[in-house]
Amino acid sequence: MTSFHFPAFYELPPTFTLQPVLNTRRKQLDMWAGLVLDYCKYHKKYSLDLEEELRSKDGLFHNPRIERILSIFDEIVSRGNGEWETKEKKRLTIHWRKPEEWASMIYRWVNDRGQTDAILTLYEIQQGDDSAGEEFHGLDTKVLIKALTCLEKQNRAQIFSGNNNEDLGVKFFSV
């Protein structure tokens, strides 16, 4: 497996300083948001602990001079590609695909397999042999539940809860 390839802008010193001119800052935040989403997708990360990322010697933010990390993540959240897990903004759920996108992929897979009006477990969707090779195979449980909640709101599915996440089931409806 090859290692993640950082874009050329990552080596430029101005990249690590929040730019004061609004248009330049917008472009900078666009580049950084794209980089963070690509990095998380490559490493199949669904959550980032910001303090841990700043301490990491080989992570995305190993440069200790970065002072605008919070601005980057606020931008990602404002675009719908992330959610703060804590009020203190120390941990972030990353959506390199938005829950609605995962929902569409999962529903298409269920529909293509003729599994509408059937009940599937979260395990079957995340780890089952039938989902092997699908992009959502191994999907983080919190992200999967958000995707299934989107389908529930669209009246395409109903989530059945149990004692824990392993007991969750989902019935998919044909539309």
Structural domain boundaries of the chain? 8-94, 99-172
Rounded to whole angstroms, how far apart are CA atoms 170 and 71? 37
pLDDT of the residue at 65? 46
Find out whether 123 and 167 touch, Cβ atoms under 8 Å.
no
Same CATH topology for 8-94 and 99-172: the answer is yes
pLDDT of the residue at 11? 73
- Strand-strand pairing, 47-49 and 91-94: antiparallel
Residue written as token pair 């199949």:
44
pLDDT of the residue at 167? 72
pLDDT below 70 — which residues of the chain?
1-2, 13, 57-59, 61-69, 162-166
pLDDT of the residue at 63? 54
pLDDT of the residue at 68? 55
pLDDT of the residue at 64? 47
pLDDT of the residue at 105? 96
* Other beta carbons less than 10 A from residue 114's beta carbon: 9
Q: Which of 16, 157, 42, 29 is nearest to 99 (CA)?
A: 157
- Write down the architecture of domain 99-172 according to CATH: Orthogonal Bundle (1.10)
Rounded to whole angstroms, how far apart are CA atoms 74 and 30? 12
What is the torsion angle, in degrees rounded to the nearest 10, for the CA atoms of residue 139, residue 143, residue 148 and residue 149?
A: 180
Rounded to whole angstroms, how far apart are CA atoms 69 and 29? 10
Write down the CATH number for the domain with range 8-94. Answer: 1.10.10.570
